[in-house]
Chains A and B, each alone.
Chain A
Amino acid sequence: MEYKIEKKKAPGRDEVEVLGATFEKGKPEGEDAGKWRQKLDSREERLKYLQSGERYFYSQEWFGSEKRKNPA
């Protein structure tokens, strides 16, 4: 799962790099339908996903509605 960088012309500036679409084109079909976890394919990516996607439980600095409190 790699970030896609697109180059775009910006008004008053030269070309700038922007983050491209973060979704995959088309609809998953057959065997792949619904299987999203397999898209993370290295341990590093998986840990990164836990910290962002599952930040409620695993982020170092973000505790949602509980962020003012100390971790239990």
Chain B
Amino acid sequence: MAEEQETKSIDQGTIELIEKAAKDGVNTAFDRAEAMKPCPIGSVGSCCKHCGMGPCRVPLPKGKEETPEEKQKRRGVCGATAETIAARNFIRMIAGGAAAHSDHGRGVAELFLEVARGGAPGYGIKDEQKLLQVALDLGVEIGERTNNEIATDIGQIVLGEYGKQEGELITLRKAPLKRQELWRKLGVAPRGIDREIVEIMHRTHIGVDQDYKSLLKQGVRAALADGWGGSLMATELQDILFGTPAPILGQANLGVLEKDEVNIIIHGHEPLLSEMIVAAAQEPEMIELAKSKGAKGINLSGMCCTANEILMRHGVPIAGNFLQQELAIVTGAVEAMVVDVQCIMQSVQTVAECYHTKIITTSPKARIPGATHIEFDEHDALKSAREIVKTAIENFPNRKGNVHIPDNKTDQIAGFSHETINYLLGGMFRASYRPLNDNIINGRIRGVAGVVGCNNARTKHNEAHITMVKELIKNDVLVITTGCNAIACAEAGLLVPEAAKKFAGKGLAEVCETVGIPPVLHMGSCVDNSRILIAATAMVKDGGLGDDISDLPVAGAAPEWMSEKAISIGQYFVASGVYTVFGVTWPTTGSKEVTDYLFKDMEEMLGGMWAFEPDPIRAAHLMIAHIDKKRKALGIDKARERVLYDMDMRRELDAV
């Protein structure tokens, strides 16, 4: 049994809890993935169910080359080709992902406007610096106006960007000039966030856009509306409300749960309510109440991207990433799991029913049958938060004896926003990306890789994440990370400065030691991938590495991706000029043309392209080869090969 479980995760604590789940008769995603294989036709994008004549399945013939006649016939009832069907499926994934990120951003903007108008007590403008920065981005007058007046204008403009019908998103102007021009030339500069997503739904309806290239181009447009629009705005406004992240020490993994305390896990994506829960859990009355129920205190921890948000701003520990959500409940030590939106398995409720845990849903957009629903009311957020914390405390006496918390917590440093990296590299008086660019040019740092994305139950938990990241840093590639990859890296001890000495190549380790940073920089949650775009733009603008993101020696990856959001993120990275490698599975292999377009033609069009490689070492090598290709194009490939001559060598030279 133990050996079988070891194939499921690289993390000992996770394996222990998979075993406990089996003993307790609890069914988890690990079991379901084993019992149910993915549909071989759907997984390659060859199944369409966009109308009542289908679903139509158009798989490639197995084990033989297809004749032109066979290909002609490989169509849906409506005549849609395998290319159209694969492209439709692919861009509907982008629409789903972009909608999720952007609707998150809209929620933040709505709260932001309420705060500015004084209608959301408990919240405020925490970061005036960021407020001014966003005001400059959006052309909002600053002068002698109050923060709330400035914020009101910002909130209105941002909300307007969602429903805008014409022109282009204001925040596209943050991208390198050359990139902006390219987007305009290609006709992919997004007009309004909602519009591009709606247009995907229209174009993919039966009998509308039936040219796969045209469909994929709209996918690019919607993805850009996500990365440079909805996600970017979510990040910026969250920073204004809750503070721009700066380095902070925290801990990670299931071992952060406390045996004698009321454990509350905040799971999901939006920091709006979780910020208030952090505040409520520290109130003396709440701590007293917890003690009156026999607990020693209240222990908050996070899961998935909410975890990243509250870690980066408050140092709240992270209990785990996507595939650890059910297992946290299996510990038997969780009084409440508070969820909002995205990446919450419906089965957390079923698992909770086997223990004493209460699942508390809080968003009107995301309800689960059987769960307790305490709706987040932004007009009295602290009241909602107190009710949630109280519900958890009152559940403490119901805890059963069957508790096992793995002993597996690690330290981590998070909070590397673009602003903080800029400050750390240059200081208050000359904040700068210059040291980073210089070290790339002189070859100490080979390049930069953004490794992000989910967990996927079809592959060993965290294995591809960690194998890839270790291979990259070993080869002097500085890694920036977000989302579930960041949590995996934290659990593997890669987010501390000491990791540089242990795992990084000589050049990268030297730089990390000098600046005092880990070789893997935690930049936040999945909407915070926009921070990576801004960091890449700052590298371009600082100079010496070309004049577009596609010139930089950088690459991106999501080795354990599973969500539609990951596809949207990948597509906006590609559209921004980044070579992006995905692992596990690829959703268009049912059509060679569509796959070639994404993997090859997009490079000509956008300077960045997709790649698929499930082996994390091979994927890392693909990224390194791309980084080296870019170094060569920049004429800085020789820097790495430079030989430092000692006196003997010099004498030999002189003798010649």
Contacts and interface: CB of A to CB of B under 8 A. Distances in A.
B546 interface: yes
B149 to A, nearest CB: 13
Given A56-B542, A65-B544, A34 B244 contact: no
Contacts of A22: 427-429
Interface string A11-51: 00000000000110000000001111101100100110110
B633 interface: no
Interface stretch (B26-34, B169-177, B272-280): B169-177
Contacts, number: 92
A12 to B, nearest CB: 29
B547 A53 contact: no
Which of A37, A53, A54: most chain B Cβ within 10 A? A37
Given A50-B132, A56-B538, A66-B547, A71 B246 contact: no
Interface in B538-577: 538, 540-547
B142 interface: yes
Interface in B416-463: 419-420, 422-423, 426-433
Contacts of A33: 247-249
Contacts of B12: none
A1 B428 contact: yes
Contacts of B422: 53-54
A65 B429 contact: no
A34 B248 contact: yes
Nearest to B422: A53
A43 B244 CA distance: 16
Interface residues of A, number: 28
B181 to A, nearest CB: 8
A69 interface: yes
B201 interface: no
Contact of A66 (B132, B243, B541): B541
Nearest to A42: B128
Contact of A64 (B244, B430, B542): B542
Contacts of B173: 72
A49 B542 CA distance: 16
B133 A39 contact: no
B156 interface: no
A36 B428 contact: yes
Contacts of A39: 428
A56 B180 contact: no
B136 interface: yes
B534 to A, nearest CB: 8
A71 B415 CA distance: 31
Contacts of B427: 22-23
Interface in B340-378: none
Contacts of A43: 128, 132, 142
Nearest to A58: B136
A50 B133 CA distance: 7
A36 B543 contact: no
Which of B127, B415, B423: most chain A Cβ within 10 A? B423
Given A56-B537, A66-B176, A66-B547, A50 B129 contact: yes
A56 B537 CA distance: 9
A40 B129 contact: yes
Given A22-B429, A52-B430, A54-B133, A65 B420 contact: no
Nearest to A70: B177
Given A1-B428, A22-B427, A71-B177, A36 B246 contact: yes
B180 A50 contact: no
A46 B546 contact: no
Nearest to A51: B136
Contact of A65 (B180, B248, B419, B541): B541
B129 A37 contact: yes
A47 to B, nearest CB: 6
Contacts of A64: 540-543
Contacts of B433: 56
24 contacts: A22-B428, A34-B247, A40-B129, A43-B128, A43-B132, A46-B128, A47-B132, A49-B129, A52-B431, A53-B430, A53-B431, A53-B432, A56-B538, A56-B542, A57-B136, A57-B137, A57-B538, A57-B541, A64-B540, A64-B541, A65-B544, A65-B546, A71-B177, A72-B180
Shortest beta-carbon contacts, A-B, top 7: A53-B431, A64-B541, A65-B543, A34-B247, A56-B541, A34-B246, A46-B129
Given A53-B423, A58-B136, 15 more contacts: A22-B427, A22-B428, A33-B248, A37-B127, A37-B246, A39-B428, A52-B430, A54-B419, A57-B136, A57-B174, A64-B542, A65-B545, A65-B546, A65-B547, A72-B177
Interface of A: 1, 22-23, 33-37, 39-40, 43, 46-47, 49-50, 52-54, 56-58, 63-66, 69, 71-72
